């Protein structure tokens, strides 16, 4: 990093990290509106088509925690570059795929690369920005990529599929990935991990990876056996972490009240908000009759309002009123938007757009506050695993929310057999919005209960590595 322009270079490094993170996040949704075209071209069965999305989510969610810990041990920059390179290469293979099996495998590899790259980003940001005010602003930029990524993915997916072909939903990653790699090598400072000889808990890694993968698969496919197995593996993982000499996820992190509370709130918050995006995409197409491109454009106000809030004033509000107050107020706005959507009619501009704007404003304020709380008081040696943990809870929340809301909406629609099909669909989606509001109400209650006192740092123990003082 250039010594004569440290602030500018640090800002460029932040831009590179966030651009790569945005690319990974939007890849989970960019393919959604292209699924019908992919099915027609590659001959997927209806059940097999779901694996185009599920293969990515299973690998991504399952490997975030171990990727974060690997960053602490081997160096976060090294893990970030490796993951970004793997993600970009897998995107090329996915775009070139002419066979259903090749596409699913490449999507799984994309998930592996995405987990490696994104798990360490938040840890790198908090290390780069030790000053509280600068850190809050940097986390606001990162939070924008997380909150707006899914909406931007729907917009890009609709535009690329309609203007070019579904292949370009993957090809678009190539110039971004290559540019991010080249810039990251120049502007992101190398860091020295504690060393792999400090110990990587292989058994713990296997247990938690299998647990999260089975859990995400079980939730997204309603496979109860997989969910039960995931809970058993998760219990075994906790026992292992309590006994391991060098645990993958040090349980001392959960003694930090803000870290524990923020991760629990994240599950509920994302369950409501990511599930809402899935439902709204269907509402716009199946009830309002929009095509793929216009559905994407209809989401455009959401990332714009999120940008105004997260990049414009979220850090100032947090500095003045505290992260907890900003989080709870932002969640309140999201709940208000969801309740308005339960009354949405057939007109986008009067029934859908106003609630979307309210929700975007609330999400743009709440997510940076929540991300800041999740990383507050975490020792530098644990920044990678704390970053991986909050990303893991995001994925678990997304899987829970999408599965629950899809099931609720479908059950409500099928129960209205004597009603016009379009109105039955609308009724199911409105009920799903009410359930989303319930997730957010639970998040507010939990946040108010748990995030009450100033947490204190629980330092990481000293690690003696051969060859180091």
Q: Which residues contact 138 (CB under 8 A, 6 or more apart)?
A: 14, 125, 128, 129
How far from 385 is each of 121, 251, 260, 262, CA to CA, in Å?
Answer: 11, 11, 13, 15
The DSSP-derived string for 132-192 is: HHHHHHHHHHHHHHHHHHHHHHHHHHHHHHHHT-TTHHHHTHHHHHHHHHHHHHHHSPP--
User: Is pLDDT at 468 greater than 60 in this prediction?
Assistant: no
Q: Is 340 in contact with 359 (CB distance < 8 Å)? A: no
User: Is pLDDT at 264 greater than 80 in this prediction?
Assistant: yes
Q: How far is CA 233 from the centre of its chain?
A: 23
The DSSP-derived string for 231-280 is: HHHHHHHHHHHHH-SS-SS-GGGGGSHHHHHHHHHHHHHHHHHHHHHHHH
Q: Is 208 in contact with 234 (CB distance < 8 Å)? A: yes
Q: Which pLDDT band, with edges at 50, 70 and 90, does 214 fall under?
A: confident
Highest mean pLDDT among 26-30, 104-108, 136-140, 308-312: 104-108
Q: In CATH, what is the architecture of 252-451? A: Up-down Bundle (1.20)
How far apart CA 345 and CA 295 sit, in angstroms, is 16
Q: Is 247 in contact with 65 (CB distance < 8 Å)? A: no
Q: What is the mean pLDDT of residues 243-267?
A: 82
User: Is pLDDT at 128 greater than 70 in this prediction?
Assistant: yes
Q: Which pLDDT band, with edges at 50, 70 and 90, does 6 fall under?
A: low
Whole-number pLDDT of residue 86: 95
User: Is pLDDT at 258 greater than 70 in this prediction?
Assistant: yes
Nearest to 337 by CA among 318, 322, 351: 351
Buried/exposed 396-414: b ≥16 CB within 10 Å, e otherwise: bbbbbbbbbbbebbeebbe
Give the number of other Cβ atoms within 10 Å of residue 228's Cβ: 12
Whole-number pLDDT of residue 466: 32
269-300 tens-digit pLDDT: 988 887 777 788 778 878 888 876 787 788 77
Helices 35-42 and 100-119, interaxial angle, to 10°? 140
Whole-number pLDDT of residue 336: 94
Whole-number pLDDT of residue 106: 93
Q: Which pLDDT band, with edges at 50, 70 and 90, does 309 fall under?
A: confident
Nearest to 367 by CA among 404, 319, 315: 315
How far apart CA 214 and CA 226 sit, in angstroms, is 6
Whole-number pLDDT of residue 194: 61
Mean residue pLDDT of the chain comes to 80
Q: Is 147 in contact with 288 (CB distance < 8 Å)? A: no
Whole-number pLDDT of residue 334: 92
Q: Which pLDDT band, with edges at 50, 70 and 90, does 47 fall under?
A: low
Q: Which residues contact 355 (CB under 8 A, 6 or more apart)?
A: 336, 337, 338, 340, 341, 344
Highest mean pLDDT among 89-93, 243-247, 388-392, 417-421: 89-93
Enter the pTM of the model: 0.75
356-371 tens-digit pLDDT: 999 989 988 888 888 8
Q: What is the mean pLDDT of residues 311-325?
A: 83
If residue 17 lies in a helix (H) or strand (E), which one and from where to where? helix 6-30
Q: What is the mean pLDDT of residues 87-97?
A: 93
User: Is pLDDT at 30 greater than 70 in this prediction?
Assistant: yes
Whole-number pLDDT of residue 467: 32
- Tabulate helix, strand, coil % of the chain (nearest 5): 80, 0, 20
How far from 13 is each of 5, 109, 115, 182, 184, CA to CA, in Å?
Answer: 12, 26, 19, 11, 7
User: Is pLDDT at 3 greater than 70 in this prediction?
Assistant: no
Superfamily for domain range 9-189: MFS general substrate transporter like domains (1.20.1250.20)
419: alpha, beta or left? (left if phi > 0; alpha if psi -120 to 50): beta
User: Is pLDDT at 7 greater than 60 in this prediction?
Assistant: no
Q: What is the mean pLDDT of residues 439-465?
A: 66
Q: What is the mean pLDDT of residues 205-231?
A: 80
User: Is pLDDT at 320 greater than 50 in this prediction?
Assistant: yes
Between 222 and 263, the more confident residue is 263
Tell me which long-range contacts 9-16 makes (C-beta under 8 A, separation of at least 24): 9/187, 10/128, 10/129, 12/183, 12/187, 13/128, 13/184, 13/187, 13/188, 13/189, 14/125, 14/128, 14/129, 14/138, 14/141, 14/142, 16/180, 16/183, 16/184, 16/187, 16/188
């Amino acid at each position: 990093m250039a010594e004569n322009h440290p602030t500018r270079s640090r800002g460029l490094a932040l831009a590179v990290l966030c651009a790569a993170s945005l690319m990974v996040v939007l890849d989970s949704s960019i393919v959604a509106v292209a699924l019908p075209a992919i099915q027609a071209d590659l001959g997927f069965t209806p059940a097999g088509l779901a694996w185009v999305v599920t293969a990515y989510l299973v690998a991504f969610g399952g490997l975030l925690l171990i990727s974060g810990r690997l960053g602490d041990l081997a160096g976060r920059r090294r893990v970030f570059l490796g993951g970004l390179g793997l993600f970009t290469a897998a995107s090329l293979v996915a775009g070139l795929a002419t066979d259903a099996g090749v596409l699913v495998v490449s999507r799984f590899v994309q998930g592996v690369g995405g987990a490696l790259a994104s798990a360490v980003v938040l840890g790198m940001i908090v290390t780069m920005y030790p000053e509280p005010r600068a850190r809050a602003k940097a986390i606001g930029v990162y939070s924008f990529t997380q909150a707006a990524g899914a909406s931007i993915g729907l917009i890009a997916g609709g535009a690329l599929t309609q203007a070019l072909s579904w292949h370009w939903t993957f090809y678009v990653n190539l110039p971004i990935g290559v540019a991010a790699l080249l810039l990251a090598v120049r502007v992101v400072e190398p860091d020295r991990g504690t060393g792999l000889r400090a110990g990587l808990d292989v058994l713990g890694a296997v247990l938690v990876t299998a647990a999260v993968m089975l859990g995400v698969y079980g939730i997204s496919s309603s496979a109860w056996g997989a969910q039960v197995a995931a809970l058993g593996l998760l219990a075994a993982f906790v026992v292992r972490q309590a006994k391991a000499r060098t645990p993958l996820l040090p349980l001392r992190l959960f003694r930090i009240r803000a870290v524990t509370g923020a991760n629990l709130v994240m599950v509920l918050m994302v369950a409501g908000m990511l599930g809402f995006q899935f439902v709204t995409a269907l509402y716009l197409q199946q009830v309002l009759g929009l095509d793929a491109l216009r559905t994407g454009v209809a989401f455009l106000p959401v990332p714009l309002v999120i940008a105004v809030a997260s990049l414009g004033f979220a850090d100032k509000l947090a500095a003045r009123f505290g992260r907890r107050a900003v989080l709870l107020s932002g969640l309140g706005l999201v709940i208000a938007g969801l309740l308005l959507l339960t009354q949405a009619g057939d007109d986008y501009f009067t029934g859908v757009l106003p609630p979307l704007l309210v929700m975007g404003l609330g999400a743009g304020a709440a997510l940076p506050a929540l991300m800041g709380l999740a990383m507050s008081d975490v020792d530098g040696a644990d920044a990678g695993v704390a970053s991986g943990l909050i990303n893991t809870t995001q994925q678990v929340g997304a899987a829970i929310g999408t599965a629950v809301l899809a099931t609720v909406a479908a059950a409500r629609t099928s129960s209205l057999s004597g009603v016009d099909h379009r109105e039955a669909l609308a009724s199911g989606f409105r009920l799903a919005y009410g359930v989303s509001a319930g997730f957010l109400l639970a998040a507010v209650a939990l946040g108010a209960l748990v995030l009450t006192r100033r947490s204190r740092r629980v330092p990481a123990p000293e690690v003696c590595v051969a060859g180091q003082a």
